[in-house]
Amino acid sequence: MAAVFVVLLAAATGVIWLLARRIVGVEPRRKTVTARRVGDDLELPQSDLTAVDGSYGLWFGERFEHHALIGPVVSSDEHRVIRRVLKTTAPISTEPFEAQWTGHTMSGPAEIDPDWEDVAVPLRDGASAPAWLFRRTALDGPWVIHVQGIRTSRLVTLRSVEVAQTVGLTSLVITYRGAGDGPKASASTLGQREWTDLADAIAYARAHGATAVYVIAWSMGAGLALELLRHDPMAFDRLALIAPATNWREIIRQGVKRAGLPGFVASVVTWALGSRVASRLARMPVPLDFDRLDWSRNVTTDIPTVVIHSKRDEEIPFELTRAFSTRSNVTLVQTADAPHGWEANVDPEGFRSALRSGLR
């Protein structure tokens, strides 16, 4: 009996460990599918992600270095989806191949502006963070700073950079510690510490001519913006949040529920991530304070804010966003049903209209 208990305890500990690392781990997670070209179209396996409306990106090749823009669904059945190929950087094979299915509708910054620049944002600890700069005619004027989510890359933000370009604003697409192509980190603190990297990017923008700063933050990037506002309520001038992570305790509960695990597992995971000893085992620089990571209640947002979110988001419950958006200065825009972070893909006009109004 004792041996069975030890085995069960070890298994439970392993599950908790895996969940904790999944939450704070910084390794990119890609949605890999088997695809092949069929005439002028692309065949994909049927799933909620491959069959959703809109335009998407397909990364393929030996190192997933080639990109294709994939358009609307042509036909589908219970096993496969046929979608239109709109543009590609290399020929697509008619033989089955492994590819990454993403929301990246652009292969890189040159698709927005051939004169984009690689710049380095100095950080207060002496390091620097790579960033992309998209100039307008003059740097003197408002700048938009775009903040990616966790385990992604700056490519996700090109959908918001495109909108800022149409409004005539300079854009700075930043990275931060542990996010995608940013400075290395052993684990994420979900915005609890990374907010200083956004503050340093804002200082860079103001030092280079920004007369006002607007922030567009995707998913976990919202935590950087909201935690910065907790420290300095006037740190920037306007805010737009896309599928924002505003309450990490509840987001973890949602993830546990989706995984089909008992509800108490979420409490154990949050306890572990908040424990000094257990957080060290997860290679975290500091334990997480989940009260601080709930920006729905304990942070003031006095600046004009627009929030864009889909009710279909299964990773971040829409009800969290609705609760956050009850403040008088926050405008909530609900897009057509879309998976997490794909509001711009499924409902491009609704997304662009909401973002333009927020930037103006």
How far does Cα 283 stand from its chain's mean position? 22
Q: For position 195, which CATH number holds? A: 3.40.50.1820
77 and 164 in a single domain? The answer is no
| Residue 22 domain-assigned (yes or no) | no
74 and 157 in a single domain? The answer is no
Letter for the amino acid at 200? Answer: D
- Render pLDDT for 175-225 as a digit per residue (tens, 0 to 9): 999 887 889 998 999 999 999 999 999 999 999 999 999 999 999 999 999
Distance CA 194, CA 174 (A): 12
Q: Which of 50, 81, 102 is the last residue of a domain?
A: 102
Distance CA 79, CA 216 (A): 38
pLDDT higher than threshold 80 for residue 119: yes
214 and 237 in a single domain? The answer is yes
| Residue 273 domain-assigned (yes or no) | no
| Residue 44 domain-assigned (yes or no) | yes
Buried b (16+ CB within 10 A) or exposed e, 78-94: eeebebebeebeeebee
307 and 196 in a single domain? The answer is yes
| Residue 8 domain-assigned (yes or no) | no
Q: Which of 102, 119, 140 is the last residue of a domain?
A: 102
Distance CA 112, CA 244 (A): 25
- The structure tokens 């620049």 sit at 117
pTM of the model: 0.94
- Render pLDDT for 263-282 as a digit per residue (tens, 0 to 9): 999 999 999 999 998 888 87
137 and 81 in a single domain? The answer is no
Would you state the pLDDT for residue 281?
80
pLDDT higher than threshold 60 for residue 12: no
Domain of residue 60: give its range: 32-102
147 and 225 in a single domain? The answer is yes
222 and 82 in a single domain? The answer is no
- Render pLDDT for 65-87 as a digit per residue (tens, 0 to 9): 999 999 999 999 999 999 999 99
85 and 61 in a single domain? The answer is yes
The chain-wide mean pLDDT, for the chain, equals 92
pLDDT band at 14 (very low <50, low <70, confident <90, very high): low
209 and 340 in a single domain? The answer is yes
pLDDT higher than threshold 80 for residue 3: no
> Minimum mean pLDDT among 36-45, 66-75, 204-213, 294-303: which range?
294-303
| Residue 279 domain-assigned (yes or no) | no
Q: Which of 102, 129, 164 is the last residue of a domain?
A: 102
316 and 208 in a single domain? The answer is yes
| Residue 252 domain-assigned (yes or no) | no
92 and 130 in a single domain? The answer is no
Taking every pair of Cα atoms in the chain, the longest distance, rounded to a whole number of angstroms, is 74
122 and 75 in a single domain? The answer is no
Total domain count, the chain: 2
Distance CA 315, CA 25 (A): 16
Provide DSSP, 179-202.
STTSS--SS--TTTTTHHHHHHHH
